[in-house]
């Protein structure tokens, strides 16, 4: 055995290790991560939209003893409550031993994902085919959304207020839908377009039928036939699309990737890959010293605006309601609170390393990723976390033996993006971004590592407990 050189010893003491952390990771942790991913994949399959994610989360929460928060009722340490925001966002809280005035611990993830929303008047017939017009939701590379099987999810709300849930295309025996692309043989002109213009917004038309209603006098008989099917199945007419929220999402189920099954491929992992660990963490804590809140938000992908997004006062009032219930000052409670803004980061792709700065990028299997700031063009539109708070979270992660890394969202001026962190920071709460690195973010199938997902859960549990 040769002794370590002085330089090797010093390096160990002074450098951040760049070694693959999985080389020395206990097999038992990897096994736990694989086990954890099973529940996560089930969640992904059932929760493709924010409404479905809220429904699945509420069902799991009720099994875990959560009840709807009622103003005027008293809750004691260890009690579990939830705040349902219109079925599209939800906050789960476990009441702590200390009063809310001492601050609460918040994990915030989003449950909306990029997709193709139907326009208010979606259905039309052209050249004997029936199609839906769509308006894409969130930042997508539009060409990726053609020629992949799609499912239709969402709700019709009738004038009398009744809600009709729709989900077609997920089960094996159900029909699916598709956006068509031009064949390469005739794409000579299309191929000259830039990649971002390769498929245009108004070309994201979804094929939904081709059989005409049996009648030889009228026009629009294919459209009529589709509306007739929808009327028979759901009791809706063309008017009911006006008060509907329907979208097309990839019809695929979550699957393992790789011979070693180490990764997960699925639609909507941004940001259910943080929402699910946040949910599991808040389910698993017993009686926390500080009240723990997991908020699953809507609308992040379009800027967090709207009353179900975190640029609203939803979270503020959740903390207020808990503070008021305990008879303490809500402003002090908010000011003393801290948050992990749990959202994905871009994992470095060996095929496209040029967009990353390798010393400040995140990598698959290097654990949960801490991001001090996001934004674009010189840290614009971000909450740049305070060093003091970053130090606190560093100490927590290292103290609990959680594998973590740090990463920026790409090279300076390569592009950029944001999270809900800045909206929570605007309330005066300490916030740091923490989440799972993702490959192919915002594509119909996104890729994560089971190990990183599990480390995200461990970080959130540690933060809330
Ligand atoms: Mn996200
Ligand atoms: Mn996103």
**Ligand nearest 345 Cα, by number?**
1
For the chain, the average pLDDT equals 97
What local confidence, expressed as pLDDT, does residue 18 receive?
87
Q: What's the 124 CA to ligand 2 centre distance in angstroms? A: 30
Q: What's the 113 CA to ligand 1 centre distance in angstroms? A: 8
- What is the model's pTM? 0.97
Q: b/e for 143-178, b at 16 or more Cβ within 10 A?
A: bbbbebebbbbbebebeeeeeeebbbbbeeeeebbb
Q: What's the 345 CA to ligand 1 centre distance in angstroms? A: 8
**DSSP per-residue codes, 93-157:** EE--SS-GGG--EEEEEE----EEEEEEEEEEEETTEEEEEEEEESS--GGGGSSS-EEEEEEEE
Q: What's the 236 CA to ligand 1 centre distance in angstroms? A: 34
Q: What's the 110 CA to ligand 2 centre distance in angstroms? A: 9
Q: Which residues contact 123 (CB under 8 A, 6 or more apart)?
A: 130, 131, 132, 208, 223, 226, 227, 238, 241
**Ligand nearest 114 Cα, by number?**
2
The residues facing 153 across adjacent strands are 167, 247
Q: What's the 310 CA to ligand 2 centre distance in angstroms? A: 14
Q: For 183, which DSSP code? A: -
Q: What's the 409 CA to ligand 1 centre distance in angstroms? A: 12
Q: What's the 201 CA to ligand 1 centre distance in angstroms? A: 22
**DSSP per-residue codes, 320-379:** HHHHHHTT--HHHHHHT-EEEEE--EEBPPTT-GGGS-GGG-B-TTS-EEEES--EETTT
Q: What's the 270 CA to ligand 1 centre distance in angstroms? A: 5
Q: What's the 214 CA to ligand 2 centre distance in angstroms? A: 45
Q: What's the 205 CA to ligand 1 centre distance in angstroms? A: 25
**Ligand nearest 113 Cα, by number?**
2
Q: How many CA atoms lie within 13 A of 284 on its CB side?
A: 16
Q: What's the 231 CA to ligand 1 centre distance in angstroms? A: 36
Q: What's the 270 CA to ligand 2 centre distance in angstroms? A: 5
**Ligand nearest 140 Cα, by number?**
2
Q: What's the 441 CA to ligand 2 centre distance in angstroms? A: 7
What local confidence, expressed as pLDDT, does residue 1 receive?
58
Q: What's the 421 CA to ligand 2 centre distance in angstroms? A: 13
Q: What's the 10 CA to ligand 1 centre distance in angstroms? A: 39
Q: What's the 354 CA to ligand 1 centre distance in angstroms? A: 22
Rounded Cα distance between 233 and 189, Å, is 42
Q: What's the 204 CA to ligand 2 centre distance in angstroms? A: 20
| 209: nearest Cα among 190, 185, 228 | 228
Two structure tokens written together for 457: 């859960």
17 to 13, 90, 209, 404: CA distances (angstroms): 10, 39, 57, 11
Q: What's the 385 CA to ligand 2 centre distance in angstroms? A: 20
Neighbouring CB atoms inside 10 A of 125's CB total: 19
Q: What's the 303 CA to ligand 2 centre distance in angstroms? A: 10
Q: Which residues contact 22 (CB under 8 A, 6 or more apart)?
A: 30, 365, 451
Q: What's the 191 CA to ligand 1 centre distance in angstroms? A: 31
**Are 309 and 298 spatial neighbours (Cβ–Cβ below 8 Å)?**
yes
Neighbouring CB atoms inside 10 A of 284's CB total: 14
**Are 338 and 105 spatial neighbours (Cβ–Cβ below 8 Å)?**
yes
Neighbouring CB atoms inside 10 A of 395's CB total: 10
**Ligand nearest 342 Cα, by number?**
1
pLDDT values of the chain reduced to their tens digit, one per residue, 465 residues: 578 999 999 999 999 988 999 999 999 999 999 999 999 999 999 999 999 999 999 999 999 999 999 999 999 999 999 999 999 999 999 999 999 999 999 999 999 999 999 999 999 999 999 999 999 999 999 999 999 999 999 999 999 999 999 999 999 999 999 999 999 999 999 999 999 999 999 999 999 999 999 987 889 999 999 999 999 999 999 999 999 999 999 999 999 999 999 999 999 999 999 999 999 999 999 999 999 999 999 999 999 999 999 999 999 999 999 999 999 999 999 999 999 999 999 999 999 999 999 999 999 999 999 999 999 999 999 999 999 999 999 999 999 999 999 999 999 999 999 999 999 999 999 999 999 999 999 999 999 999 999 999 999 999 999
215 to 131, 222, 332, 392: CA distances (angstroms): 20, 10, 70, 72
Q: What's the 275 CA to ligand 2 centre distance in angstroms? A: 13
**Ligand nearest 302 Cα, by number?**
2
Q: What's the 382 CA to ligand 2 centre distance in angstroms? A: 15
Q: What's the 201 CA to ligand 2 centre distance in angstroms? A: 18
Q: What's the 410 CA to ligand 2 centre distance in angstroms? A: 14
Q: What's the 435 CA to ligand 1 centre distance in angstroms? A: 9
**Ligand nearest 111 Cα, by number?**
1
What local confidence, expressed as pLDDT, does residue 217 receive?
86
């Amino acid at each position: 055995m040769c002794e370590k050189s002085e330089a090797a010893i010093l390096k160990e003491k002074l450098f951040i290790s760049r070694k693959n952390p999985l080389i020395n990771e206990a097999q038992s942790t990897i096994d736990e991560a694989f086990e954890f991913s099973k529940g996560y994949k089930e969640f992904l399959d059932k929760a493709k939209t924010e409404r479905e994610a809220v429904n699945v989360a509420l069902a799991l929460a009720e099994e875990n003893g959560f009840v709807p928060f009622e103003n005027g009722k008293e809750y004691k340490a260890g009690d579990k409550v939830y705040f349902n925001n219109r079925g599209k966002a939800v906050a789960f809280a476990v009441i702590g031993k200390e009063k809310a005035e001492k601050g609460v611990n918040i994990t915030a993830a989003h449950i909306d994902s990029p997709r193709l929303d139907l326009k208010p008047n979606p259905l039309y017939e052209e050249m004997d085919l029936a199609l839906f017009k769509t308006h894409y939701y969130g930042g997508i590379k539009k060409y990726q959304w053609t020629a992949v099987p799609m499912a239709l999810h969402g709700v019709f709300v009738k004038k009398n207020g009744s809600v009709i849930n729709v989900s077609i295309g997920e089960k094996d025996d159900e029909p699916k839908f598709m956006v068509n692309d031009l064949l390469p043989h005739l794409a000579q002109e299309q191929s000259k377009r830039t990649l971002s213009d390769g498929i245009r917004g108004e070309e994201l038309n979804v094929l939904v039928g081709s059989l005409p209603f049996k009648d030889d006098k009228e026009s629009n008989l294919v459209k009529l036939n589709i509306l007739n099917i929808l009327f028979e199945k759901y009791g809706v007419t063309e008017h009911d699309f006006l008060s509907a929220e329907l979208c097309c999402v990839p019809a695929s189920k979550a699957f393992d990737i790789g011979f070693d099954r180490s990764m997960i491929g699925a639609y909507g992992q941004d940001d259910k890959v943080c929402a699910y660990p946040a949910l599991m963490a808040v389910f698993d804590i017993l009686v926390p010293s500080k009240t723990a809140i997991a908020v699953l938000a809507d609308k992040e992908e379009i800027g967090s605006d709207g009353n179900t997004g975190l640029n609203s006062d939803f979270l503020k009032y959740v903390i207020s309601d808990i503070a008021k219930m305990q008879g303490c000052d809500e402003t002090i409670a908010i000011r003393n609170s801290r948050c992990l803004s749990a959202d994905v980061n871009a994992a470095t792709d060996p095929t496209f390393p040029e967009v990353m700065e390798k010393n400040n990028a995140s990598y698959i299997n290097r654990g949960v990723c801490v991001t001090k700031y996001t934004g674009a063009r010189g840290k614009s539109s971000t909450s740049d976390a305070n060093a003091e708070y970053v130090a606190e979270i560093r100490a927590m992660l290292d103290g609990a033996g959680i594998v973590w890394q740090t990463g920026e969202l790409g090279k300076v001026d390569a592009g950029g993006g944001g999270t809900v962190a800045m909206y929570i920071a605007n309330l005066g709460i300490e916030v740091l971004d923490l989440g799972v690195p993702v490959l192919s973010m915002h594509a119909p199938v996104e890729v994560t590592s089971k190990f990183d997902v599990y480390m995200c859960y461990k970080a959130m549990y540690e933060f809330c407990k």
